[in-house]
Structure 1
């Protein structure tokens, strides 16, 4: 079941970059409008079955769960702002690759929290990052505009790492429906404030623009993000973020097919390295008690975190 959800999640998030780039390039939709509506619609969809089955869950959210969810939502909102804007400035392949380096950021953040990973885990992470480099090559920062886009994507990756760690905490005690409803809803509220201060419209788009927003919401938000948020209950944030690396070759392939972007020369070699790195991390974490689950998270008391 976890394998199926991981594959579904990768397909969902891999469509994000190409769909966003196509929507921004062909319609009047603003970057923050995409972030707002995908989260607002996602929250409404996730809330419906949860309210129908267990409406009391929302009233039982603890203060600590709320704080972790708010941290995840804020990081997610800023992540979307950086990533979606970067897609307007640099290539889909470069932006996706840099933002997906959240696994490296997670390892760094965990290091500051006193968590030490076994050397096979670090080696696997290094191999996977080598796969990212193979895909992007040396075309990043080819112009001042592209360089700014690359820097925004790097920032987006760090924020995605925070979102993933915070989500992992929240998912220890919250159901998928409760957490995603709360996180997506608060993220939409933060994005609305950002749009208000930046002057970016959230409505008034043509039919093609709304169609793009709906496609992004279904594929990337409801399928991709929700699948990975569900996996956080049984997998470590680092392992989940490593699986998300598969989004990079997936996005590059989709951009080549649908947006006529040149497929990076190292796509297939990079995919191979990412898969090898992921396998090494899985094997390395099996040697650590509970690491495949949530062994890299603090011990009880349990609190609530979320991911990208």
Structure 2
């Protein structure tokens, strides 16, 4: 159910007749609106204990999340659903490189996975560059989305060690929505007057990928190894491509497929090899 929920994200973005940044803003704003009353009713002592430093840490994660949505959501408008989903799934690769910058040693198998993923990304984006400059721009945005997703997880990992998921996500989504709203207003992005079908798509994104999908993965982490959950996340790539084909008629280009397949294999190698990194980390990261 969680895989199906997150797989619907890119097809819904491509379907919605609204500016990409507006979609990113509304899905976070709606999610924060849903979570805030629950936090106020059940987490007041935690909010008091959190203090301004804790709130600031959650807000910094929200800023990184704004960078993630602000790049990946537009990518689903520029390139194919399959390419956008596969390239943003490089997040574990960026996560490994962030761990390296923090002084952790990467096992050799992780470096192998990074090399395979990079080779796949080069093949996939090279195919798009030869086909369309717009698609190539979308590929680069999706890669940036994966990088910002890794930064978001790195910030959130420390906060979640002492903060409940409900409190953390409420503050994080709220901060993300505020930053995206500022960007939308400054850039003159239209935030209203959409057709009813677009509002339904945005609400579906909020209920499905934003609240249901990731929440179910976080719940599963209490009973399933984080490595297993991370590999299951990769099922979003074929899931989104299948939904895009059946619903929107988006058939992945033949030149993309070898690169996308290689990329997914490389990311899976990184995730499986990261088991050794997890032993060095006091608090394994949850799903974003």
TM-score band (shorter)? 0.7 to 0.9
Residue 140 of structure 1 corresponds to 128
Looking at structure 1, the residues matched to 269 and 138 of structure 2 have their Cα atoms a distance apart, in angstroms, of: 31
Unaligned runs of 5+ in 1: 1-7, 298-304
Question: What is the RMSD computed on CA atoms of the aligned residues?
Answer: 3.4
Higher fraction of helix: 2
Deviation at 1:66, TM superposition (A): 2.4
Unaligned runs of 5+ in 2: none
Of 146, 149, 164, which aligns to 1:175? Answer: 164
Is residue 105 from structure 1 mapped to residue 98 from structure 2 by the alignment? no
Aligned 8 A contact 1:76 1:187 in 2: yes
Is residue 184 from structure 1 mapped to residue 177 from structure 2 by the alignment? no
Partner-residue secondary structure (3-state), 1:194: helix
Range 101-110 or range 186-195, more displaced: 101-110
- Change beyond 3 A, Cα 1:240–1:198: farther
Partner-residue secondary structure (3-state), 2:214: helix
Is residue 12 from structure 1 mapped to residue 38 from structure 2 by the alignment? no
Looking at structure 1, the residues matched to 283 and 162 of structure 2 have their Cα atoms a distance apart, in angstroms, of: 16
C-alpha distance after superposition, 1:5-46 (max 9, x if no partner)? xxx4433222111110011xxx3x221221111111111222
Deviation at 1:221, TM superposition (A): 0.5
May I ask how many residue pairs the two structures share in their alignment?
286
Within 5 Å, give how 1:1-308 maps onto structure 2.
8-23=1-16, 27=17, 29-124=18-113, 126=115, 136=124, 139-141=127-129, 142-228=131-217, 243-263=232-252, 274=264, 278=268, 281-282=271-272, 284-287=273-276, 290=279, 294-295=281-282, 308=288
Aligned 8 A contact 2:86 2:263 in 1: no
Deviation at 1:276, TM superposition (A): 8.8
Normalised by the length of structure 2, the TM-score is 0.83
Normalised by the length of structure 1, the TM-score is 0.78
Aligned 8 A contact 1:125 1:278 in 2: no
Deviation at 1:250, TM superposition (A): 1.6
